[in-house]
Structure 1
Amino acid sequence: MSFVFSFVFFCWVYSLVNELLIKEQLKIHRPSIRFLEKEIGLNADGFYQQENKQLRREYLKKYLLDRKSQKIKVKGACLNDDVLQVWIKEAGYSFPSGHTVSAFLVTILLGYLIIVRKGSLYKYWLVVLFMWAVVIAYSRVVLGVHTPVDVFGGAVWGSVISFGLILSGSLKSVFVNKEPLKKIG
């Protein structure tokens, strides 16, 4: 149980570092904000000058509400309201994709756990985990909140952090010399 708590705590701390330090230093605009700037005249600089993400959400929500009658089109089709809600929620900067960093971090660390604790018998779970991380990354691009560069950078960064933890040996006390995981049932 302490492993689960430590793992969740580490991911939470990394998410804060990514959102509050890395992205805030790089200040790369989201593709959704650049799109709204180009298509309906959103002032992206004004949007990002808001003090925090909550104020940015309110700014964007008001801007879109004021232009409710103006249909936003992507490749000739009207933009879905659910996608607009995601764009409002994702009011931070773009690079690297935090969802992708976390997905690859979790995938590699759980993959390591599977290999160390269960051996190659469960290697097919590694494929499932990897496909899950790829789907998370792809969904961020499809939703328009990240570019392929954002998710590639997130995948690389999540992998580097994971392999750094594994190679440092700091995870050995958690995984090595423990009795195998027990089957339920």
Structure 2
Amino acid sequence: MSKKQCPWCVGDELYEKYHDLEWGVPVFDDKILFEFLILETFQAGLSWITILKKREHFRKAFDDFDVEKIAHYSEEKIQELLQNPGIIRNKLKVRSAVTNAQAFIKIQKEHGSFSNYIWSYVNHKAIQNTVKDYNKAPATTPLSEKISKDLKKRGFKFVGPTVIYAYMQAVGMVNDHETSCFRHQEVSFT
């Protein structure tokens, strides 16, 4: 008998693997936090599965999400990215990756790490929600609105409350696995 998963991932092997191994697991490593931030900003207006299918292309195109390298991308590199069919070639999103890398580094310098900054919003402990039906889970919360507002003030782009809530779910700041999902309990103890 197979384990019950959140229904949003069922039926696609890549989606199921992401759900089972990554989604909702608390992430404190700045490199991974940056990767998810960039991927979530590219996801704005698109489905997450679209981004997941292109994730390896993004890693290669964006120097394995090396924040220092991305912060110093030249116009030539930006134009190269805009020609790369393996990623989402949205001019504003590509340029925002550079801007966001620069803002990310400023936060690291100010707070010691981006992890210290972002996790301080939840007192460094994941919020354990009791989602019974993922379709009824919120797309934004007052907290995602607060974080979004602060990130925008710090110069980040494509970080609206919906993107930030999806980010919070992805990096485990909130556990939104359905209560009937086998990962709900597992993630709550990580």
Q: Tell me the TM-score normalised to structure 1 length.
A: 0.31
Q: Which has the higher contact order (CA 8 A, sep 6+)?
A: 2
Answer with 1 or 2: which has the greater Rg: 1
